[in-house]
């Protein structure tokens, strides 16, 4: 093999391997390994983390206290005062997990446990009095107006006994009652309308989140009522809804959704999901508690929620290791390419030197054989020397 050829072949091989490994091979290997790691196979670390999150979800509630409930009945816009945050730590886990190997799927139920976080709530306790639309009553009215509007008059007769003499569509309550304790419904009345409405509540108890709190006494939390979801403060929403209330100040920093994700694994480093709970409110002629309200529907904000996650170092550690490996491979692929070019260059230089020496030897040998007359030394030696004894003339 000619000198330098081995270096050129080795350099070319190193160059090709560097390009393949750096831009194609490593990514394929990495995705394959990540795919194996994220499979929810029982007994794996990913299955454990997926089944029971090792960190809480931080839920921050901001309520809209209505400062002019009586004025709304006189045609004023609802004046909203934001109160919060009321912060709750939500620990989530999946229970009743059933694996189905035939369909390669898993079924489960969610279980969430909530703990009030007084430190993050900045002095608020959840027992502060606030005024906002009576979401249970309003939800009942809206659903009836949508599905069976002729039954609104019947519902009107049930409001007084079930809601303990409620005379306004606004309710004075506390965040704890709204979120956890529930609002009480009195189903002890013997009146026909009240008994009929309570029968419906009992029949749809599971669907509406109705819980029994005593003999014919029930409680309902806000999460059992149909709501309309928007961004907080109607951020990037319709101007007509924003213009029908006062006290909102939408902006991207405080009310936009933010998510910082790692594209390779899909892991979330920083997440802020924000959503506002609203209900339409307007005058219904057959309902006493809605009379004198504006006939123009108001999309009335009740509260908004920010859910966020703070990723711990323990969870981030595998991601950091992944990026360390990726950074190393990024450097390695360029070193392989540079090394390949270097070997090829050295091999080419070696071949060049070898050819130069070969040409030099040929020239030197040719010069040695030539005299100044242009005769070769062999022709010169073949001529007779008169001084030799055996020379013949």
Tokens of 392: 């013949």
DSSP assignment, residue 23? I
290: pLDDT strictly greater than 50: yes
pLDDT top residue among 370 and 146: 146
Tokens of 47: 């299955």
235: pLDDT strictly greater than 90: yes
Q: Which of 60, 55, 38 is nearest to 47 (CA)?
A: 38
pLDDT top residue among 59 and 331: 59
For the chain, the domains span 1-53+333-371, 55-311
Long-range contacts of 164-169 (CB under 8 A, 24+ apart): 166/134, 166/137, 166/289, 167/288, 167/289, 168/69, 168/73, 168/134, 168/289, 169/133, 169/134, 169/137, 169/138, 169/281, 169/289, 169/290, 169/293
The answer for residues whose C-beta is within 8 angstroms of residue 170's C-beta and 6 or more apart is 66, 69, 72, 131, 132, 133, 134
Q: Is residue 205 classed as helix, strand or coil in its secondary structure?
A: helix
The confidence score (pLDDT) of residue 56 equals 85
- Model confidence pLDDT, tens digit, residues 138-171: 998 998 999 888 889 899 999 999 998 899 999 9
Residue 160, CA distances (Å) to 157, 171, 181 in order = 7, 14, 22
Q: How many residues does the chain have?
A: 393
Report d(CA 17, CA 56) in Å as an integer: 45
Q: The dihedral of CA 338, 341, 347, 353: what is its sign?
A: negative
Which H or E element spans position 276? strand 268-281
DSSP state string for 108-126 = EEEEEEEEE-TTTTTT--S
63 touches 82 (CB < 8 A): yes
Q: Which of 59-68, 236-245, 318-327 shows the lowest per-residue confidence on average (mean pLDDT)?
A: 318-327
List phi, psi (to 5°) of 334: -75, -35
DSSP assignment, residue 338? H
241 touches 299 (CB < 8 A): yes
- Model confidence pLDDT, tens digit, residues 69-120: 999 999 999 999 999 999 999 998 888 888 777 877 778 888 888 899 999 9
372: pLDDT strictly greater than 50: no
Beta bridge partners of 131: 172
393: pLDDT strictly greater than 50: no
DSSP assignment, residue 107? E
Mean pLDDT, the chain, as a whole number? 79
132 touches 302 (CB < 8 A): yes
Report d(CA 142, CA 135) in Å as an integer: 10
DSSP assignment, residue 222? G
Give the pLDDT mean for 291-305: 92
Count CA within 13 A, CB hemisphere, residue 261. Answer: 9
Q: Which of 143, 114, 110, 132 is nearest to 227 (CA)?
A: 143
User: Which of 174-178, 269-273, 326-330, 378-382 is modeled with the greatest confidence?
Assistant: 174-178
The confidence score (pLDDT) of residue 392 equals 47
pTM attached to this predicted model = 0.70
H runs (alpha helix) in the chain: 5-20, 26-37, 45-51, 69-72, 135-147, 152-162, 175-176, 192-203, 205-208, 239-242, 252-255, 313-368, 377-381
- Model confidence pLDDT, tens digit, residues 197-221: 888 877 776 667 788 888 889 888 8
Report d(CA 274, CA 25) in Å as an integer: 40
Q: What percent of the chain has pLDDT over 70?
A: 65
**Cβ atoms within 10 A of the Cβ of 178, count?**
23
């Amino acid at each position: 093999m000619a000198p330098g050829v081995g270096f050129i072949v080795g350099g070319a091989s190193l160059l090709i391997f560097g390009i393949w490994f750096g831009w194609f091979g490593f990514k394929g290997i990495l995705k394959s390994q990540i795919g194996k790691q994220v499979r929810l196979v029982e007994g794996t670390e990913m299955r454990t983390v997926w089944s029971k999150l090792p960190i809480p979800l931080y839920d921050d509630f901001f309520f809209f206290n209505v400062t002019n409930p009586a004025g709304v009945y006189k045609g004023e816009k609802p004046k909203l005062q934001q109160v919060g945050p009321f912060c709750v730590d939500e620990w989530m886990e999946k229970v009743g997990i059933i694996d189905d190997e035939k369909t390669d799927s898993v079924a489960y139920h969610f279980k969430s446990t909530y703990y009030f976080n007084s430190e993050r709530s900045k002095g608020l306790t959840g027992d502060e009095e606030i005024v906002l639309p009576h979401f249970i009553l309003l939800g009942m009215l809206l659903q009836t107006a949508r599905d069976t509007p002729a039954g609104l008059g019947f519902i009107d007769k049930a409001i007084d006994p079930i809601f303990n003499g409620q005379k306004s569509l606004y309710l004075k309550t506390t965040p704890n009652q709204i979120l956890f304790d529930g609002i009480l419904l009195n189903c002890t009345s013997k009146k026909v309308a009240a008994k009929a409405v309570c029968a419906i509540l009992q029949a749809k108890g599971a669907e509406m989140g109705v819980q029994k709190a005593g003999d014919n006494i029930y409680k309902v939390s806000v999460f059992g009522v149909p709501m309309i979801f928007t961004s907080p403060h109607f951020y990037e929403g319709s101007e007509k809804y924003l213009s029908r209330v006062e006290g909102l100040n939408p902006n991207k920093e405080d009310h936009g959704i933010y998510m910082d994700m790692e594209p390779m694994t899909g892991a979330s480093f920083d997440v802020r999901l924000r959503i506002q709970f609203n209900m339409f409110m307007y005058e219904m002629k057959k309902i006493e508690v809605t009379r004198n309200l504006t006939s123009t529907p108001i999309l009335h904000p009740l509260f908004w929620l920010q859910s966020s996650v703070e990723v711990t170092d323990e969870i981030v550690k595998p991601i950091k290791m992944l990026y360390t490996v990726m950074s190393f491979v990024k450097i390695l692929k360029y070193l392989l390419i540079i090394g390949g070019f270097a070997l090829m260059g050295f091999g080419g230089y070696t071949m060049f030197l070898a050819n130069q020496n070969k040409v030099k030897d040929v020239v030197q040998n040719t010069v040695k054989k030539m005299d100044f007359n242009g005769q070769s030394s062999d022709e010169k030696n073949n001529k007779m020397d008169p001084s030799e004894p055996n020379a013949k003339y």
